[in-house]
Structure 1
């Protein structure tokens, strides 16, 4: 996967490419990240201007962004997906991520101030993506989030495929099940034991327990997600078993 980032502050990305799965994917040559600063495509480094029609604030000018886009596209061999990180975009979810994973070349445009000239969006942007209904100072942090989410789903980045397929949201919108590790007991805590089924060695029962817990947690913590979920016959059985027990408490 090739990702080109258009940003006034490419230095912000230095730390995320030094650590974790992003660093690992770069070392394995599964990911290539390039940076293009719009300031490098102007004579006087001036990249912003006041808004036509009046009002407070400034936006990024079209020409430096367009030049940066063309330069980024020159380095990519195949079809390029251009994404603008914007609070007006579609909120990122697992369905969106799976779709984006089919693209091998992407350009992320990071806005600043009050945004970018609308003509860049209308003429060049394929999709606007948001990470939530709130405003940040720029598109750099959303771009970092999107890169991290994408990279950990690239085959070969994580040690095992189940590392991402058992995550929250990956399993048809359900939240993930609880996880435990050594030691089996923690002293002086109210909840101190690992569930016996997880150390039983019975993989069929473990799988069933995990599915049941995913259903429980989704229903309790994110009922909005649960309402969208179409349950299988087995899932209905496990959920009803839990719900009947829960309502009796």
Structure 2
């Protein structure tokens, strides 16, 4: 997979691509990340890329021509057709399903805005999709671009040392279509001043461990992200697990104030 990032600070995303899972994917030839600066395609001695907005108001707007010339150079750098994503607060909110769909593409171009954003004519003519990483405003699209690069990189086959790791992540759909948060995890030592590892995880009983993890995932999702759980779609087994979890949480005074099933 190839990802091109158009940004006034291309070194930011390129540097990020040298570390962690993304860096490993690059080293293994599964992914390449390339930065492009629209200022390199601007005219005049000042290489200007922005101007005042028509109609008045604060801030500056990124101009059409430098960005359009930069995108033309990006497209010409590789014959594979590019899917252009504009990182914008007005875009569709990014979720794991969209990440998985984007991770299956051969090539992405991530367009990072600055200031008050990008001239809408460029967006209408060149952008295939707008994506937001949340309902808040950042100074530019570089951080959202880094988030998206990381999210798609870890889904490239061979990027993770354990292929099961991605399948067990929060928000990944299981065979039943439920998108649950991950269960709690523990490591050494077994006993600590902050508490002890749950006995079931030390039992060696794989069926019991799987049941506990499923129940914890169901319960955590119900308490923390109830919008992800459709009670009517739960299997009889999952419903029983969740009811047991909620009974235990209520007994411990940790029901989170959520309405029982």
**Which bracket does the TM-score occupy, shorter chain normalised?**
over 0.9
Aligned residues: 246
Aligned counterparts of 1:229 and 1:60: Cα–Cα separation in 2: 48
The answer to whether the aligner puts 1:180 opposite 2:182 as a matched pair is no
Which residue of 2 is the match for residue 197 of structure 1? 200
CA–CA distance in structure 1, aligned partners of residues 233 and 129 of structure 2: 28
Relative to 1, partners in 2 of residues 1:229 and 1:9: Cα closer, same or farther, differing over 3 Å?
A: farther
Q: Distance in 2 between matches of 1:223 and 1:215?
A: 10
| 2:13–2:145 Cα contact (<8 Å) kept | no
Structure 1 residue ranges (4+ consecutive) displaced by more than 6 angstroms after TM superposition: none
Say whether the 8 Å CA contact 2:87–2:130 is kept in structure 1.
yes
Q: Which residue of 2 aligns with 1:25?
A: 25
Partner Cα distance (2:226, 2:41) in 1: 48
**Contact 1:3/1:108 (CA < 8 Å) preserved in 2?**
yes
Q: For residues 46 and 136 of structure 1, do their structure 2 counterparts lie closer, same or farther at Cα, with a shift above 3 Å needed?
A: same
Superposition RMSD on alpha carbons, in Å? 1.5
The answer to whether the 8 Å contact 2:30/2:159 transfers is: yes
Match of 1:237 among 219, 236, 240: 240
Deviations 1:74-130 (CA, angstroms, capped at 9, x unpaired): 123323110000000011101111111221101000000000010111111110000
Write the distance in 1 (CA, Å) between the matches of 2:231 and 2:84: 30
In structure 2, C-alpha distance between the alignment counterparts of 1:137 and 1:32, rounded to whole Å: 25
Q: Distance in 2 between matches of 1:36 and 1:3?
A: 11
Q: What corresponds to 1:114 in structure 2?
A: 116
Q: Distance between the aligned counterparts of 1:108 and 1:161, measured in 2?
A: 26
Q: How far did 1:227 drift?
A: 4.2
Aligned 8 A contact 1:173 1:229 in 2: no
Q: TM-score with structure 1 length normalisation?
A: 0.94
Report SS of the residue matched to 1:15.
helix
Deviation at 1:36, TM superposition (A): 1.2
Q: Mind listing any 5+ residue stretches in structure 2 that lack a counterpart? A: 253-261
